[in-house]
Structure 1
Amino acid sequence: MGAGKGKGRGYSLRVASWNVGTLSGKLLEVIDALKRCKVHIACLQETRWKGQRGVERNGYKLLHSGADGAKNGVGFLVAIELHKNVIEVKRYNDRVMVLRLVLGVEVVAVVCAYAPHVGLGDQEKWEFWDCLNGVVRDVSTEETIYV
């Protein structure tokens, strides 16, 4: 798990990224680790949960996106106190999601991305990179972005 801490205009935000391998049976364990590290937003990769929904557990809201094959899957765990600031959740596919929230006078875009690994075909890799490129390009220069 990696974390970054940003400060600006009266707030402190701690964002982390974690390839969880699978979220099945691990959600509460992951949340406990995030609480210990005082993480506000976690980008999760390889959740292996299918569908698109939101679930609230132990002070965090889970927003996720996964395909029917129950492989890949990305999501966000957002601290409940920040969830009220969320203005958009965009699910592109089972590898890319964007969360936008307002913090003070600033809009923050958090991009969760799960890149295809070495064993996959070029087509899937190009589709991922094209999607991610489009997502990053669409973020306004007025916004702070975390990828």
Structure 2
Amino acid sequence: MQGRNIKILCIQETKWKGSARKIGERYKVYYAGESTKKNGVGIILHPDVQEQVTEVKRVNDRLMGMKLIRDEKIWHIVSAYAPQQGCREEEKEEFREKLEEYIESIARTELIVIAGDMNARVGESGNGYEGVHGGMGFGRRNVEGERLLEMAEGAEITILNT
């Protein structure tokens, strides 16, 4: 982070139990993890950004976010880790519902960045989702990619990169 001047970094598969800690002398990581030692998401902050955080919201071990004020704008940074292939369909549906609820809770005048491992392939081209497909996908779209594009379309957000 330091060498590339990264101010905010979302991480997944942390497998940490707890909620926050310092990394080294300067960086702080907020995270959401359970005692199962699986999953886990987090957001690491550069010292320049730490004082701008106004709220941290831990939904579960697959979804968390924070609200911060930067450059006179309200930002929501969300770290997400979607269930992978082989997980129960109920678990996947619960994740999508929680993510949609989180997005819907944010005012349209505020900015949102969702970063994470969505375990989906949206494919190389929009193919019907040009309004939400950012053009930076690869390969062929899979079922989870289709669902992700549908969710993005409903939430009026764009998938910038995969």
TM-score with structure 1 setting the length: 0.74
Partner of 1:123, secondary structure, is helix
**Aligned sequence identity (%):** 34
Task: Name the aligned partner's letter for residue 127 of structure 1.
Answer: E
The aligned counterpart of 2:51 is 84
Counterpart for residue 68 of structure 1 = 35
Uncovered stretches (5+) of structure 1, i.e. residues with no partner: 1-33
Choose the corresponding residue for 1:138, options 95, 99, 105: 105
Aligned residues: 114
Indicate which of 70, 92, 95 corresponds to 1:125: 92
For 2:70, the equivalent position in structure 1 comes to 103
AA of the residue aligned to 1:38: N
CA contact (8 A) 2:41 2:61 kept: yes
Q: Is 1:49 the equivalent of 2:26?
A: no
Flag as ranges the 4+ runs of structure 1 deviating above 4 A: none
Which structure: greater strand fraction?
1
- Cα shift at 1:51: 1.8
Aligned to 1:40: 7
SS in 1 for 2:107: coil
Q: Which amino acid aligns with 1:48?
A: K
Cα distance, 1:92 vs structure 2: 0.3
- Deviation at residue 57 of structure 1 after TM alignment: 2.4
CA distance in 2, matches of 1:42, 1:113: 12
Equivalent residue in structure 1 for 2:83, among 116, 121, 131:
116
Q: Give TM-score scaled by structure 2 length.
A: 0.68
SS in 2 for 1:133: helix
**Amino acid corresponding to residue 145 of structure 1 in structure 2:** I
Letter in 2 for 1:97: M
Equivalent-residue separation in structure 2 for 1:134 and 1:90 (angstroms): 13
